Amino acid sequence: MEQIALITGASRGLGAALAVALAPTHHIVAVARTTGALEEVDDKIKAAGGEATLAPMDIINPDAMAQLCRAIFDRWGAIDIWAHTAIEAMQLTPTHHLALQEADLEKSLKVNVEATARLIAYVAPLLGETGRAVFFRDDHAGEKFFAGYGATKAAQMALAESWQKEAEKIGPVVKILEPRPLATAMRARFFPSEIRAGLTPPAEEAARFLPEILAT
């Protein structure tokens, strides 16, 4: 039976790298907002000998996500892996300025918290008892200027951790992995003057995570 991996946030960074890493063994359902970037990932997936279904859509759109999950069910009936790498990294700012960036904070809450909660509800039935959901920790809570990102990312992790405990005996398997500092555009926004030579390429980190993701 064909193995299916759903990657939300598949157009760049760790999500794109995981899509390519899983492609030799799984049909990839790649979700992201940017069609062009998804097509570039699709080229890499094909070069790795895999196949993908591209889903250029925004995870904050409930109707789009419901339609996608229904389409996955109609075509395959289930999925084996869901890797959730989609994240909104709002601009760093002093905490007392967050109220001045209400639109950015609202978007971060929608992507990092609300969409994650909704996706858990939508994807859990597709994973069943034996599928694997994978989340990625990036803990900046309490750091200077990270109030917006740190709070919404911490809330996302709270959702994942609660689900992990609830699913221990009944499934699915919920894994929370912690990447090393990655050479991504998001990190460059956070730390523009950082020396990037010491950062880990996303492809290297995806290869490191692969055995853990595939382990039952």
Give domain limits for the chain: 4-207
CA angle 135, 139, 141 (to 5 degrees): 130
What's the pLDDT band for 216 if we cut at 50, 70, 90? confident
Pick among 3.40.50.150, 4.10.520.10, 3.40.50.720, 3.40.50.300: CATH of 4-207 = 3.40.50.720
pLDDT tens readout for residues 42-65: 999 999 999 999 999 999 999 999
SS3 176: strand
Token pair 């490191």: residue:
208
Encode pLDDT of 102-125 as tens digits. 999 999 999 999 999 999 999 999
In what side-by-side order are the strands of the sheet with 173-177? 52-56, 27-32, 4-8, 81-84, 132-136, 173-177
Q: Is the pTM of this model over 0.85?
A: yes
